[in-house]
Structure 1
Amino acid sequence: MNTTHSLKYSPENAAALTQAWVDAMVVGMNLCPFAAPVVKQATIHYAIEMGDKDEAVIQAFLAELDRIQASEEDELATTLLVTPNALPDFEQYLDMLDILQGLLDRSGLGGVFQLASFHPNYQFAGVEADDITNWTNRSPFPSFHLIREGMMSRVLMNYGDPDEIPERNMALMRELGRDGLIARFPPFADYIRN
C-alpha cells in the first residue's frame, strides 16, 4: 500500500483494494454520511488511472468530470479517481488538488461538484504526521473524490450537525488507535505509523 510499491497493483487490484477501504472505513465507520447509500445503490464509480504523470491525472479527472455530468444521479452519484502510480508525495498531491480544483472552478462547475481528498500520507495542516487523526483521510492510494454538491446538501440537511462530522471522525480515530485501525482494515499494517 505504500505508494512507492504500488506498481505491483493492476487496475483491478487497485479498484478492489480501494473498494474494500471504502466498505471497511468510509462506510463501515460512517466517516462520510452519504457514502453508505451510494455504495448500497452501486452509484459510486471507481476510476483507476495507472499513469504516473500529472497530465494523465488531469486527463482522467476531466474524463470523469465529463462522465458524471453526462449521467443522472441515480446512475452515477459520485466518482473516486484513484491514482496508484502518481503523486506519492503528499505535497505534490496537494499541488494537483489545487490544479483540479482550478479546472473545476474555471469550468463553472465549482458549485455543482466538489472535490474531497484522500492520500496514504494525508496530513492535516497544523497536525503532526504521526497523529492518528490524519487517518480520517488516509486511503490506500492517492485519490480524488468528485461529489455532487446537491446530493451532499440534501444528505447533510437530514444530518443533525454536519459541522461535528470532522471532530466525530477524529475522536473515532483516537478511540480506535493503531491496532483498531489495522483490525478494521488489515492492509493499513503495510504503512501505518505508531
Structure 2
Amino acid sequence: MSPRRVTNEQVIAATTNWLEKAVIGLNLCPFAKAVHVKQQVRYVVSEAETPEELVEVLRQELEVLAEANPEKTETTLLIHPYVLNDFLDFNDFLDVADALLEELDLDGILQIANFHPDYQFADSEPGDIENYTNRSPYPTLHLLREESIDRAVDAFPDAAAIFDRNMAMMRKLGHEGWYDLLDGKLDPASVKPEQDQ
C-alpha cells in the first residue's frame, strides 16, 4: 500500500526544512551549505511506485546531472515518497543504482548517496539516535559529482572526523532534541557536540 499522497511542494518543503535545520544547521555535512546558498541543488520528486519505475527516473536524472552546468546544478536530490519506504528494500535498491551508474558509464563521474526516514547503520539498533544523521523525511537518492567530492575532501581531508563529530552531536541532541530541531523549537547553533570521554 502506498503512503498517503502529498504534493510535490510539501515533499520539497519538508526536505528543505530537514536540509536547512539538520544537515546545514547542525553542520552534518560541511559541504551542503554552499550549494544550498547558491541554489545549485536540483529537487526532483518522483511519482514512481515500483523499483522499476524508479530506475527509469534515476537513469534520466543521472543523465541530466552529468550534462548540466555545475554552476547551475551541482547536485540532485531525487526524492521518492511512494516507493522503497521499507529501509531493507531501499538498501537492496542501492546495488541496482550503482549498477545503473556503471551501465551509463558514469561510475567515477557521479556517485549516489542515500537518506531514508528509517535509515539504520550496520550494527546499530533501529532506534539509535546516531542513525538520524542519515534520516530524511522521505526516501532520497542524492546524486553527486565525484569532482565535487574530491574538492570537498581536499578542503576537509579528515572525513572520519566529520562522522565522529556527527555521532557525538546526535548523542547530545537526543530524540526529543531532533524533533524540536525540525519543528523549529530548537536553534541548531545551540547544539555543540561533546567529545566522547
Report the TM-score when normalising by structure 1: 0.90
Deviations 1:109-161 (A, max 9, x none): 11111111100110001111111000000010000000111111112211151
Counterpart of 1:82 in structure 2 is 79
CA contact (8 A) 1:11 1:50 kept: no
**SS at the partner of 1:8?**
coil
Q: Kindly state the Cα deviation for residue 84 of structure 1 after the two structures are TM-superposed.
A: 0.7
SS at structure 2 position matched to 1:147 = strand
Q: Percent identity?
A: 36
The one-letter amino acid of 1:108's match is: D
For 1:25-104, list aligned pairs within 5 A.
25-104=22-101
Equivalent in 5, 11, 19 of residue 8 of structure 1: 5
| Residues 40-67 of structure 1: CA deviation (Å, up to 9, x unaligned) | 0000011100221112211111111111
Runs of 5+ unmatched residues, structure 1: 188-194
2-side partners of 1:107 and 1:50: how far apart? 22
**How far 1:105 sits from its partner (Å)?**
2.1
Helix, strand or coil at the partner of 1:174: helix
> What do residues 61-102 of structure 1 show as CA deviations (whole Å, max 9, x unaligned)?
111111111111111000010001111111110111110111
Q: Which moves more between the two structures, 93-102 or 35-44? A: 93-102
| Alignment-mate amino acid for residue 16 of structure 1 | A
**Structure 2 residue ranges without an equivalent (≥5):** 185-197
SS of 2:82 mapped into structure 1: coil
Q: Is the contact between residue 45 and residue 78 of structure 2 (CA under 8 Å) also seen in structure 1?
A: yes
TM-score (norm 2): 0.89
1:169 corresponds to: 166
Aligned length: 184
2:148 corresponds to 1:151 = yes
Could you tell me whether the CA contact under 8 Å between 1:115 and 1:144 is conserved in 2?
yes
Q: CA deviation at 1:163?
A: 1.8
In structure 2, what is the Cα distance between the partners aligned to 1:127 and 1:36? 28
**What is the match of residue 110 of structure 1?**
107
Distance in 2 between residues matched to 1:6 and 1:38, nearest whole Å: 30
Native 8 Å contact 2:2 2:83 kept in 1: no
Residue type matched to 2:118 in 1? N
Equivalent residue letter for 1:115: I
- Report the 3-state secondary structure (helix = DSSP H, G, I; strand = E; otherwise coil) of the residue aligned with 2:4: helix
Contact 1:43 1:76 survives alignment (8 Å): yes
Q: Give the SS at the match of 1:145.
A: strand
Moved over 3 A (4+): none
